[in-house]
Structure 1
Amino acid sequence: MGDTVTVHGQLTGAVVHGAGRGRGLGFPTANVAADPDSRVPPSAIYSGWVVRHSTGAVHRGTISIGSNPTFCDTADVHVEVYCHDTSDEFYGERVGLWFVARIRDTVKFASPDDLVRAARQDVLRSEALLASDRGRRVLTDALAAYERTFSA
């Protein structure tokens, strides 16, 4: 596994329907259409927090940004988040993704099974990063920003 790189920032957007491939692989994802003013980080796998704007609920997440190279079906960059602690569907909801750290590059795997094995490791690494001091600081920042923005 590559070195973990710290990432700063937040991305906001609406949850939209995707191809449904993640659910079939055992990793259902929320596909996020980034707001035009959100800075989308470079393609990679990240650890981060998901804040649901409608409720303020916060979820632990592993975020994939990239073109899904294992399936080679598009060159478009997608933002997808696997929430570790809920299977709720967020379609139509607005969310904020708060990035804790970059886990690894997005790569093309030889098979979907290889991708699933890597995703399991990504989630374990993400959990450790979210539990770290940095992960907790980012969570505190996310909650404070939510309170400033949505509790008026």
Structure 2
Amino acid sequence: MARLSDEIEEFIKAMLNESRESQLQIVRNELANYFSCAPSQINYVLTTRFTTNKGYYIESKRGGGGCIIIRRLEVRNDDSFMESINEKIGDSITYNSAYQVINGLFEAQMITKTEADMLRVVLNDRTLIAANDNRNRLRADILKSVIMIILNKE
């Protein structure tokens, strides 16, 4: 059986996919009641599963019962997008951060599952073990280069 966090994530994503708009408005307490959990569980899912790295923007509104707006970010395949990716990656990146970038590109359908899987293998710590202290720097260089090739940028 899936963990509650996974169920909540899938439920929210399904609601977003069914919506004709790129955003969804939910009431945290109502969602918590639906899943018979604490509102903090909803917060946990929103802060860990719906991040900007994964292509989402969360806005919280107070008053009138309060609501949360989840926006799906539009990822564009242009120079400004590549600049933001290069800035996000920087000169050095940990595996966990690279993993989030890869997942964000996959969820935005900019890379295939196979490409995402290959990047995860190429960039993991075991593969880059010989790089020692330069592992994160090498990982950043590889990630930026491969993303540029996949997205046909030079």
Same-fold call, TM cutoff 0.5: no
Based on CA coordinates, which of the two structures has the bigger radius of gyration? 2
Structure possessing the higher relative contact order (Cα contacts under 8 Å, 6 or more residues apart): 1
